[in-house]
Structure 1
Amino acid sequence: MGLRKDIWRTGILEAPLATLIETPDWSQIPCHFLPDMPRAFQFRADPFGVWHEDRLHIFLEIYDYRDRIGAIELFVYDRAYTLLRNEVVLREPWHLSYPQVIQAEGTYWMLPEAHRSGTQTLYRAERFPDRWVPEATIDLGGEIAVDATLHFQDGLWWLIYTPVEAAKKAPSRLHVAYASTLHGPWTRHRQNPIRIDPSSARAGGTPVMIDGRLMLPVQDCSHTYGGAIRPLWFDELTKERITTRTGAALPIASTYAPYDEGMHTLSAVGAVTLFDIKRTELSPHGLVIEAGREVRKLRRRLGLS
């Protein structure tokens, strides 16, 4: 049970992702932070978004250290960044996070991180934005993906991910699979792992095309989990060959203090970008929360609650 806890904060930056990549100081970029959590040792992180009917729909992880089971929460804003709607839209018995949402085949899809379920499930919006149903299982030949990220290019769907065993030890291997449709079948790239590097081998946001090249935000976990975001450039992305190179870690504005100890998601939504940044909570209260959680787990196993 750790004394130190990462607490994340999520915001909306009024600049496209391509601009942020080239901007050394974000302090002058207008930023709108989502509401603070009501209790200590809770956070919101991993934001992804889409514009729908002139409204910004943000999907993200909501997490409480008391139960350690993340769910997917929705925020809806108008163009003036007035909050119109907020609710949890997807909850499972296992932890959910990193809810990438895409539009394809005439509907919306969500691929949340859910490795504790033992698989990766693609959800379809039965009613956007608040009703999501399991549609397909992404079969990677026995591999379970962490922070799997979809991208469509050259007539193929590409899935960029870290295998769960690499993520548990150190997020140091990046893999790729491809398919002609979202429903598969999926083929793991023969060049896997395409990167072996803790500073750039775990996806951290939406892939975007910039000046004709694919750029994927990736997490720099070389010193700590979610320490920074780097741009990972794909110079080649074909069935036969993948070549990549990474850029420098992106800055965290000093004006964001005390949330200046890390960043691990950067998501493009047209003219705005979603991001999360963290501070570290160092308090004996964290140990009390952990102890309470363990007691509740024991009571459930003994049939006392």
Structure 2
Amino acid sequence: MYLPAKQKNKYDLWSIGIYCGDSPFHLGPAPGVQNPVLTREHVSDVPAVFVADPFMVRSGDLWYMFFEVLNWRTDKGEIGLATSEDGLAWKYRQIVLAEPFHLSYPHVLRWKNYYYMIPECCRTGSVRLYKAVEFPLRWSFAGTLLEGPHFVDASPFRFKGKWWLFTETNPNEKHDTLRLYHAGDLSGPWVEHPQSPIVEADPRAARPGGRVVVTGDRIIRYSQDCWPDYGTRVRAFKLMHLTTAGYAESEAEESPVLSPGGTGWNAAGMHHIDVHRMAGGRWLACVDGWVKATEQAASENHAEVA
């Protein structure tokens, strides 16, 4: 996640959980799973403040989860990796991508037998594409998809032979402006949709909150509800019409699909979901949540990692 300047005096403690359910709208803690499944304490190669923004893909017999690790030493986000045999129990592996600038929201996808990652790097003023040269450990910069003042949480998806991409773009960190782009190829060129921005002046619906779900003609996009505070809950929207000339959506009746709960790991809020359809029609999702903590508490993570 991109940390707004007004939040620099503290670090909220984010961690990652596993949910499941009978639809991409009805999800809850997976039975038998002790959430959170990944926390800063699991990170062994850098001193981590928190883990957040998980995306997962299945390859062969394993699930691979990529997520932001905020490095206490550098005060920058880096991309971590965890693996799982069943999608429920996870083992942290290592940092797989670090740059001189902040990285987060590592949207990973497979296309034409290659794996790609589009991590958020809004401080570069661009949307950058990475390609796995040795999946899942080695990634190489493959090109710039968009350039401009501010692109946050770029979320690509494939629909009816074209690529589409949502991204939040308000440079004043209000989380309230959603733009839509399309392209014939993942590498571009990307063209802004004529009805873009799709959302304006609405922090409840603008900022992408995870992978767009496409099943047949049904498209679901998730948004971070940033009202009254950043990272409050996740809402779901059904796309009713999508062409290069037209766009229409409506909020799902089941929305919000993720909300704060109890006094534990997600007591203060939740802001991300990546949901996958499983055999038998069930759905499996990685999510994140947070609790408030001061900078002093965050610094008590663990001793400096060599």
Which TM-score tier does this pair reach, normalised by the shorter chain? Answer: 0.7 to 0.9
Q: How does the TM-score come out when normalised to structure 2?
A: 0.83
Q: Which one of 208, 211, 220 corresponds to residue 213 of structure 2?
A: 208
Instruction: In structure 2, give the amino acid aligned to 1:101.
Output: V
Matches of 2:116 and 2:125, distance apart in 1: 20
Between 1:152-161 and 1:72-81, the stretch displaced more is 72-81
Q: Which one of 138, 143, 153 corresponds to residue 147 of structure 1?
A: 153
Does residue 129 (structure 1) correspond to residue 112 (structure 2)? The answer is no
Tell me the equivalent position of 2:233: 228
Matches of 1:143 and 1:151, distance apart in 2: 23
Matches of 1:89 and 1:62, distance apart in 2: 11
1:35, distance to aligned residue in structure 2 (A) = 3.5
Q: Which one of 252, 261, 270 corresponds to residue 263 of structure 1?
A: 270
Note the residue ranges of structure 1 that are not aligned, 5 or more in a row. Answer: 290-305
Does residue 183 (structure 1) correspond to residue 187 (structure 2)? The answer is yes
Tell me the equivalent position of 2:39: 36
Between 1:238-247 and 1:90-99, the stretch displaced more is 238-247
Kindly, what percent of the aligned residue pairs are identical?
Answer: 28
Deviant stretches of 4+, over 6 Å: none
Residue correspondences, number:
281
Note the residue ranges of structure 2 that are not aligned, 5 or more in a row. Answer: 1-6, 279-283, 301-306
Q: Which one of 162, 167, 190 corresponds to residue 161 of structure 1?
A: 167
1:81, distance to aligned residue in structure 2 (A) = 4.1
Tell me the equivalent position of 1:294: none
CA pair 156-210 structure 1, distance change in 2 beyond 3 A: closer
Matches of 1:145 and 1:251, distance apart in 2: 24
Tell me the equivalent position of 1:54: 61
1:131, distance to aligned residue in structure 2 (A) = 0.5
Higher Cα Rg, which structure = 1
Matches of 2:79 and 2:110, distance apart in 1: 18
Matches of 2:287 and 2:48, distance apart in 1: 19
Instruction: In structure 1, give the amino acid aligned to 2:96.
Output: V
Tell me the equivalent position of 1:245: 250
Does residue 278 (structure 1) correspond to residue 283 (structure 2)? The answer is no
1:209, distance to aligned residue in structure 2 (A) = 2.7
**What's the RMSD between the two structures over aligned residues?**
2.5
Instruction: In structure 2, give the amino acid aligned to 1:56.
Output: W
Instruction: In structure 1, give the amino acid aligned to 2:131.
Output: R
Q: How does the TM-score come out when normalised to structure 1?
A: 0.83
CA pair 206-30 structure 1, distance change in 2 beyond 3 A: farther
Tell me the equivalent position of 1:292: none
CA pair 5-239 structure 1, distance change in 2 beyond 3 A: same
SS of the residue aligned with 1:116?
A: helix
